[in-house]
Structure 1
Amino acid sequence: MVQIYKAAKGRKPGPVSLANQLLTIDELDHAGMGVCRSHQPVVFVEGALPGEQVETRIIQKKSRHWQGQAVKVLQSSPERIEAFCPHINQCGGCQNQHIGQTDLLAHKQQAVAQLLSRQSGVSALPWQPPLQGDDRHYRRKARLAVDAQGKGGPSVGFRAKGSDKVVNIRQCAILTPALQSVLTPLLQAVKALKGVRAIGHISLLDADNQLQVCLRVTRDLPATDLAQLRSLAEKCKVSLLLETAPERFEYLSGERLNASYQPATGLNLTIGPNDFIQVNSAINQAMVAQALEWLDVAPGEQILDLFCGVGNFSLPLAKAGTKVVGIEGVQAMVTRARDNAQNNGLAVDFRCMDLSDSQALLSLPVKVDKVLLDPARAGALELMPVLHKLKPGAICYVSCNPATFARDIAILAEKGWRIDKINLMDMFPNTAHTELMALLKPSGATGKA
């Protein structure tokens, strides 16, 4: 785990040395970064694997750790494989293409176990098999950046490593096949627009009911540009929208129909162009099914779903016959969640609440049987004491940040909670992201939650 430290007052971190370092890598952290502990301070090296000797360019020095990038592998690990993407050395995504996903998950699991042991004293974890899917063709939602200010013509693609520079892409193997089929004609059309400088970014969505392309524009596009975009949309059979102001959309082509997806069989959830959706459909469905299985929900139970979004977990829980209270901090998503419940013929009590506000948390239901929470990367620190006081039979914590998860779990562990099940979920293959799910129970609880 890479910690960020501040230099002591009156002292500034030393300048980065221009000389490369020859390092031997001991292990990977949970983001897939190589870790050299024989060097002091410890060095985290992007692109390096355990057992490798690598020539490392140091890019940042702090008092307790350095960060570097492997520029040459002198002794290679048997786990090293060839990257599949031609943009690997420029694009800032898919950082871990140099190791297979099964090997990477094994290293990440070990790193998470060490992190939990250090921060919360939790050891001998009851690991369950990870949720895995295809490591390519999985991403159903993406955002392309546009830079039309350069002298070499417009650039459309993803951000470069550690930079705001936009890398022109020709292909992206992690996009779903449907999005990949749209990518090339879209890139060509956008670069040819007269008003390309008015385009901030482009959102792509492969929903269950449509392919959607949404251009964020800062001013009106010329009529000729609009005609070209409509022609593209008809040719590629996509719904094309312009976002002319925050959350203000204009349909250029396609049916005026909200995009939708299925978190579980028989449920259809609608989402707006800017709504959050898990980008990996297969892993999302497996994750939802696992959460219901681990919680062992029964009809009539009172379930509290925190950070509920548009109902990704709430509606499957309600379909299972439970009484769900779903809480989300964004009013627009609460409104969408209520619509989704109504459209699916389900009754869910959705509420808008700031879940970081300790006073607001006092209005949480007094009696709940079980809790599910799926917070953002910041975690749910303020919620931990509240959840303990609610005395649920079980807590299912879905995390996209092992560091804040470990911090939060440490509070519950001090109060007697234990991890009953835990596993990794490969939501973002080939990347530094690590997602996990854990089922927690109060000490003494056995059998069903």
Structure 2
Amino acid sequence: MQTTESRALDCAYFDSWRCRSCTLLATPYERQLADKQAAVADALPALAWDAPFASAAGGFRNKAKMAVAGTLEAPTLGILAVDGSGIDLQACPLHEQPIQDAMPRLESFVREARLTPYDVPSRRGELKHLIVTASPDGELALRLVLRSSEAVPRIAKHLPALADALPLVSASVNLLPEHRAVLEGDEETVLLGGTLVMRVNAVPLRLKPRSFFQTNTAVAAGLYRQATAWIDEASPASLLDLYCGVGGFALHAARPGRAVAGVEVAADAIEAARECAAELGADASFAVGDATSVDLEGTGAPELVVVNPPRRGIGPLADRLERSAVDRVVYSSCNPATLAKDLAAMPSLSPVRGRLFDMFPHTGHAEVLVELRRGA
């Protein structure tokens, strides 16, 4: 058994068994990283590996997804126990410092606005989740997930005081009326701002309330730098970023004389990518669409494709890439199992090098970047 002294991060919640989400916390960080690298290398075909990109042991999460429970007088912000009761984790050491600093004020806001915590066993109450995202500049975006719109006028009334107390630049309400084990619903109403700027490697990426962004900003910055280095080494005349989100890979790789485009199903993410491209003066275009149905055939095929899919992988897109004229693929994966399956479906595109990026310390999850070359 590992001793507390050998750990990279002290956590009172873990030691008291209030939260055991960080399943590898008792394992020294160097061992965690080595074990992840070995597991990823074992799951994928043989290729050259760069040294793993390590994370800070704590203070690295830019987003806090807090389940709200308890009572109006004593709300808890954290996770839910098996019986549905709340476990307060306001001082979770994984979160970036601006998030930790904001938690006591956010708890007060819940009480002041009389946002009754949702009680899972009885299916009563209003406030289900509180989601806070921090930017590299220390600014915050807040989302409140509610069962109904009943509390929205009170939130709007007390929001100015909250914005005065915190570096809050965006606030929105999300409605999730159903009793379901999901984080958010389909309806979002912006009450303040609406955009959080994530300045990564001098690229001012923009996050709308529903936009996806990597959880670990410092490691995401390293991921973008590595992908950009591989892309610049290949020097493609044309690049297509599929599942582009807010345009992180495309905007990092945009260069004069290089045709860069991105495709993403989320319209708000495409809007954000376009805004960033305009600010940078980047020669990059973005379109709303299904990444799996983009035209990759014929002389119009891009020389290089970047894919950054969800955990399920690229599915039928793998076969289309295999049959296309695309010479290189840079694949960013958060699930080595689906990555291995997708690589097997593209035998003409050989994986030549890869790198592990530790987005999620103290867990078994891994982000992997792999470069594929046709006929290598």
The answer on 1:211 being equivalent to 2:140 is: yes
What pairs up with 1:265-284 in 2 under 5 angstroms? 265=202, 267-284=203-220
Given that 2:194 and 2:208 are in contact with CA atoms closer than 8 Å, whether structure 1 keeps it comes out as: no
CA deviation string 1:223-276 (max 9, x = no partner): 77665554343223324624164221112xxxx3621112322x2122112211
The alignment covers a number of residue pairs equal to 351
1:397 alignment partner, one of 308, 327, 331: 331
Shift of 1:335: 2.5
1:158 alignment partner, one of 73, 79, 83: 79
The answer on 1:181 being equivalent to 2:125 is: no
CA distance in 2, matches of 1:211, 1:437: 29
What pairs up with 1:34-45 in 2 under 5 angstroms? none
What TM-score, normalized to structure 2? Answer: 0.83
Shift of 1:192: 5.6
The answer on 1:86 being equivalent to 2:12 is: yes
What pairs up with 1:240-319 in 2 under 5 angstroms? 241-243=171-173, 245=175, 246-251=187-192, 256=193, 258-265=195-202, 267-297=203-233, 301-319=237-255
Letter in 1 for 2:57: D
Structure 2 unaligned runs (5+)?
117-124, 176-186
CA distance in 1, matches of 2:190, 2:247: 23
CA distance in 1, matches of 2:129, 2:312: 25
CA distance in 2, matches of 1:342, 1:131: 31
Task: From the CA coordinates, give the structure whose radius of gyration is larger.
Answer: 1
What TM-score, normalized to structure 1? Answer: 0.71
**Higher deviation after alignment, 202-211 or 433-442:** 202-211
Higher share in helix: 2
Letter in 1 for 2:315: L
SS in 1 for 2:13: coil
What pairs up with 1:26-41 in 2 under 5 angstroms? none
Closer/same/farther in 2, CA of residues 295 and 163 from structure 1, 3 Å limit:
farther
CA deviation string 1:327-351 (max 9, x = no partner): 1122232232222222221222322
Letter in 1 for 2:102: V
Letter in 1 for 2:267: Q
Shift of 1:291: 0.4
Closer/same/farther in 2, CA of residues 400 and 202 from structure 1, 3 Å limit:
same
Closer/same/farther in 2, CA of residues 225 and 270 from structure 1, 3 Å limit:
closer
**Higher deviation after alignment, 224-233 or 106-115:** 224-233
SS in 1 for 2:225: helix
The answer on 1:386 being equivalent to 2:320 is: yes
Shift of 1:389: 2.2
The answer on 1:221 being equivalent to 2:151 is: yes
Partner of 1:43: none
Given that 1:202 and 1:215 are in contact with CA atoms closer than 8 Å, whether structure 2 keeps it comes out as: yes
Closer/same/farther in 2, CA of residues 211 and 434 from structure 1, 3 Å limit:
same
Structure number with the bigger relative contact order (C-alpha 8 A, sep ≥ 6) is: 2
What pairs up with 1:359-378 in 2 under 5 angstroms? 360-362=293-295, 366-378=300-312
CA distance in 2, matches of 1:362, 1:77: 52
Letter in 1 for 2:143: C
Closer/same/farther in 2, CA of residues 303 and 99 from structure 1, 3 Å limit:
same
Closer/same/farther in 2, CA of residues 317 and 240 from structure 1, 3 Å limit:
closer
CA distance in 2, matches of 1:230, 1:385: 52
Letter in 2 for 1:135: A
1:332 alignment partner, one of 249, 257, 268: 268
Identity %: 26
